[in-house]
């Protein structure tokens, strides 16, 4: 079989055009995928940040709901159930200030002052400028006969919150019966409808 010269040239031309088209498509394909990869990299941190924010919000709502449920048990007279719920929350979130403060108040109300002192001290370890914790701890230490430490914490509470009338009143009306002073200054150790104990009148 004899191949005519012009037929060979035609086949070579078709092959060359086909090869050029393939190269052009590959080049365009690589160029088009690059911006997509870059865009994906740009949004990934934002998406991760948003997911983290949502998770934190859900945890906070769960913790708030558990505290309210614990306070409800306390108001109904079930201090044991309240204590268990607060301890479970603190095991999950040891730095939760409101839960620890409420638990300390519960221990005061159920006449377990040493346990209350421990939790108030933990509050101050988390935040040394917590005037409320200084005041509550001062009243407890006074009740336990530790006048020196009580005076220091009460003085510190007044320094941190100089406009608080309750702190000033406690300072002026220190009597020979600190137990009566504690309850009187606290307005009664029981949970309030606002979600925190009446012990913290500065709220």
Per-residue pLDDT tens for 11-45? 555 556 556 656 655 555 555 555 544 545 556 78
pLDDT in tens, 126-154: 999 999 999 999 999 999 999 999 999 99
pTM for the full model?
0.64
| Residues contacting residue 2 through CB under 8 Å, at least 6 positions apart | none
Percent of the chain's residues with pLDDT above 70 = 64
Q: What is the C-alpha end-to-end distance of the chain, expressed in Å?
A: 105
173: pLDDT strictly greater than 90 = no
Joined together, the tokens standing for residue 99 give: 């839960």
Mean pLDDT of the region 190-196: 47
Spans of all domains in the chain: 58-186
Quickly count: other Cβ atoms within 10 Å of residue 179's Cβ.
13
Give residue 70's pLDDT: 96
187: pLDDT strictly greater than 50 = no
Domain 58-186 has CATH 3.90.1150.10: no
Distance of CA 89 to the CA centre of its chain: 11
The whole-angstrom separation of Cα 21 and Cα 78 is: 81
| Residue 165, CB-side half-sphere exposure with 13 Å CA sphere | 1
């Amino acid at each position: 079989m004899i191949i005519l010269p012009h037929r060979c040239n035609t086949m070579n031309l078709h092959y060359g055009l086909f090869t050029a088209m393939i190269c052009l498509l590959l080049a365009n394909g690589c160029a088009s995928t690059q911006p997509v990869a870059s865009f994906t990299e740009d949004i990934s941190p934002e998406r991760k940040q948003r997911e983290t924010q949502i998770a934190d919000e859900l945890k906070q709502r769960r913790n708030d709901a558990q505290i309210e449920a614990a306070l409800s048990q306390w108001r109904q007279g079930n201090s044991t159930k309240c204590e268990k719920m607060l301890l479970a929350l603190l095991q999950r979130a040891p730095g939760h200030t409101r839960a620890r403060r409420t638990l300390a108040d519960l221990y005061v109300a159920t006449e377990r002052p040493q346990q209350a002192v421990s939790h108030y001290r933990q509050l101050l370890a988390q935040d040394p400028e917590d005037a409320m914790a200084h005041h509550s701890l001062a009243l407890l230490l006074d009740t336990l006969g530790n006048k020196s430490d009580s005076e220091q914490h009460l003085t510190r509470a007044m320094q941190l919150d100089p406009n608080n009338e309750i702190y000033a009143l406690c300072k002026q009306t220190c009597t020979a019966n600190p137990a009566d002073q504690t309850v009187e200054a606290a307005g009664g150790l029981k949970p309030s409808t606002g979600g925190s104990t009446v012990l913290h009148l500065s709220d």
